[in-house]
Amino acid sequence: MKKVITYGTYDLFHQGHYNLLKRAKELGDYLIVGVTTDHFDEARGKLNVIDSTLERVENVRKTGLADKIIIEEYDGQKIEDIQRYGVDIFTVGSDWIGTFDYLNDYCDVVYLERTPNVSSTQLREGRFDLVRMGIVGTGEMGTRLLEGTKYVSGVGVVSAYNPEKENAAVFEREYDIPCITESYEVFLEGVDAVYIASPNETHFAYAKAALENGKHVLCEKPLSFTKNEAESLYSYAKEHNLVLLEAIKTAYCPGFQQLINVAKSGVIGEIRDVEAAFTRIADEDSRERTDAEFGGSFLEFGGYTLLPIFKLLGIDYKDVHFYTMKDENGVDIYTKVYLEYEQAIATAKTGVAVKSEGQLVISGTKGYILAESPWWLTKKFVVRFEDPNKIETYNPVFKGDGLRYEVSEFVSQINGRGKKGYKLTAEEAIAMAEVTEKYMDYKKGSM
């Protein structure tokens, strides 16, 4: 019996997929089809896949051509599968010519002619209108987001907004994207969605105006300085069927989700402590180190450190305490936040002029998880136990600087692909605003 194997994502199952499977089957007597998992696609940078793994498997099954369907979930699996199932022929479409020649050591490799003029990418793009995105603020984050959008299909940056004419002109020249300076309303008219990366104290007003003009909002942290403001934005967005996301990029990174899932799986027992630290020695003349009111370490990095705490321990903490060190101008250079829970304690540590180990430690009754700097990108984490020889290491795949994952989530939610916003919920974002408000009150009192 001649065994043939082929792999694919098979998103929005189309004629090209059917033809390929049919010809693959004709190469032998028994056809094995490998379908990628959502996580594997996400990790290798194939974002925006619409159908879930189950739906994609089901569509392959319905063709009646596959004798066996398997799941592809990691790099290097193909060699293993070929050996395990005693495969004679590996085949894929001609768009892959050359890529899989290395499998010739294990079986015959056949590239089949690809069906012209149809692909999942094309179908995905045709199914939804392009999301026209506008960037508010043309600083470093704005330009990084521009880069991130290149990896996500269905979205394009069409304009930017910056009331400061000189900066606007520099941005226009460098990126060849019009930058509007006259009025925010005029800018909003030309876009479907905005990414807000302006100074912290302007986030709320820009987000509010964008929502009120019917635009989806991806807003840099902190979204606002009070719980009420955050609540009002989220409830307005919900009522008007608009997407509002706070741009805490860690929340959308594949590795971070995996870390949370491992922590919640019970492998380290009951979680009793979460310690998250994020420090960066910022330039002395940067906004972070010169703006006593809206700069400083907690307002810059607090969102990152609160995220794993709320994800793992929930938002119903019993009490919160702040300890801040200020410089001679009253700027928060180092802050520690303690959150007390019924059954756990947590610390969030941030610095802009104090350097510390930037790690995330999740302590449980059976073991602990350690993610070293930069845990906020979550490229690696380990699970450790009393027995120092027992270590489980995870190396999730991470591409670029992570902004593509946040853009992908934003676009997916806009296109309403049934994906619930579980990666950073409105409740969690509102709870962060509440801690921020308490911190602002504390700072005023302690100044």
Interacting residues toward ligand CTP by CB under 6 A: 8-11, 16-17, 20, 92-93, 95-96, 114-115, 118-121
Which residue, 12 or 371, is less far from ligand CTP as judged by CB? 12
Residue found by looking up tokens 């350690």 in the block: 370
Q: Give the separation between CA 313 and CA 290, rounded to whole angstroms.
A: 34
Rounded to 5 degrees, φ, ψ at 317 are: -75, 155
Which residue, 93 or 364, is less far from ligand CTP as judged by CB? 93
Which residue, 77 or 121, is less far from ligand CTP as judged by CB? 121
CB of 124 to ligand CTP, least distance (A): 7
Which residue, 93 or 308, is less far from ligand CTP as judged by CB? 93
The closest of 405, 413, 49 to 217, measured between CA atoms, is 413
CB of 216 to ligand CTP, least distance (A): 24
CB of 260 to ligand CTP, least distance (A): 28
Contact of 230 with 224, CB cutoff 8 Å = yes
Q: Give the separation between CA 421 and CA 442, rounded to whole angstroms.
A: 31
With b meaning 16 or more CB within 10 Å and e meaning fewer, what string describes 262-276?
bbeeeebeebbbbbb
* Cα distances (angstroms) measured from residue 415 to each of 111, 241, 242, 264, 420: 34, 11, 11, 30, 12
Q: In 3-state terms, what secondary structure has residue 409?
A: helix
* Interacting residues of 228 by C-beta distance below 8 A, sequence separation 6+: none
Which residue number has the CB closest to ligand CTP? 93
Which residue, 8 or 402, is less far from ligand CTP as judged by CB? 8
CB of 50 to ligand CTP, least distance (A): 10
Token representation of residue 423: 């990666």
Q: Give the separation between CA 326 and CA 430, rounded to whole angstroms.
A: 26
CB of 35 to ligand CTP, least distance (A): 9
Q: Do you find a cis peptide bond into 222, omega within 30 degrees of 0?
A: yes
* Interacting residues of 247 by C-beta distance below 8 A, sequence separation 6+: 195, 197, 218, 219, 220, 221, 406
CB of 99 to ligand CTP, least distance (A): 10
Q: In 3-state terms, what secondary structure has residue 377?
A: coil
Residue found by looking up tokens 């990084």 in the block: 144
CB of 19 to ligand CTP, least distance (A): 6
CB of 154 to ligand CTP, least distance (A): 12
Which residue, 58 or 201, is less far from ligand CTP as judged by CB? 58
Q: Give the separation between CA 311 and CA 192, rounded to whole angstroms.
A: 30
Torsion of CA 212, 218, 219, 224, to 10 degrees: 50
Which residue, 48 or 335, is less far from ligand CTP as judged by CB? 48
Which residue, 16 or 367, is less far from ligand CTP as judged by CB? 16
CB of 195 to ligand CTP, least distance (A): 25
CB of 129 to ligand CTP, least distance (A): 18
Token representation of residue 5: 């194997």
